[in-house]
Amino acid sequence: MPPRARRASSPSTMQCPWSCWIEKWITRNRSTDARATAHRSAPNSRADLSDGSPGAARIVTCSGYLGMIFARVVCGIEGRPRGFRILAFLQLSDRLATAGQPTEEELPSIRDAGYEIVVNLALPTSTGALDDEAASIARLGLEYVALPIDFERPDIELALRFFDVLDRHRDRRMFVHCAANMRVSALMFAYRVVRGQMSRDEAGDDLELIWVPNPTWARYIEDVIAAATSNERDEAKGGAR
């Protein structure tokens, strides 16, 4: 089941037939800020995202009324460091930002914004992946961590390794991305719930700014939460001996 119940849609809300055109427009402009989009969207709206391709997320949808289309196709800058145009950018805290795949030209803006570590959860074959992101990040003087998670067959062990990276570097500024911020947003939901940083509803608000997980990822999120919770209990027992 999903991380939390979906909000009911308005009876007058329908999928806009132009959503594919709008998706291409957004991807081309690469400047949609998820939080700014959400602030401008109707209360019952949610992200309509690709359910298969890890690199083709529809960051916004249409509510059926033509007048709503352009209210939801925005080039928001709210929450972005200056100069950022990275796809699906979402700032979670002063020390942690998430996003989709940056282009080669956008990488220096990550360094210029003060981030010290770049974590990549996408596959080397994901849509938009750079030829050698590790080398590009090294040339910028940043630390790079690659934990490639298959979107179709996500691995629990890699998620737990990602949690360990977040724990070990909690005092440093991290920029975490995948292809479209779908993997990252889902695992950040799980991490915040497991570590007690937020309730499911609170963490779910940020998750739904990016997407509503499909059945595969809804199950994966719950499996990751269960595995991480079990590990915490085992560690607590071992420390008490």
pLDDT score at 234 = 80
Closest CA to 116 of 167, 79, 171, 77: 171
pLDDT score at 237 = 72
**Model confidence over 211-237: pLDDT tens digits?**
999 999 999 999 999 999 999 888 777
Task: Provide the number of structural domains found in the chain.
Answer: 2
Is residue 185 located within the same domain as residue 213? yes
Is residue 193 located within the same domain as residue 111? yes
Residue span of the structural domain in which 43 resides: 19-72
Is residue 177 located within the same domain as residue 212? yes
pLDDT score at 79 = 56
Which residues does the chain have with pLDDT short of 70? 1-83, 238-241
Coil, strand or helix at 220? helix
Coil, strand or helix at 64? coil
Cβ-based burial of 86 (10 A; exposed 0-12, middle 13-18, buried ≥19): buried
Closest CA to 102 of 82, 120, 77, 75: 120
Is residue 225 located within the same domain as residue 110? yes
pLDDT score at 69 = 30
φ and ψ at residue 26, rounded to 5 degrees: -65, -45
Is residue 209 located within the same domain as residue 124? yes
**Model confidence over 173-196: pLDDT tens digits?**
999 999 999 999 999 999 999 999
Is residue 64 located within the same domain as residue 156? no
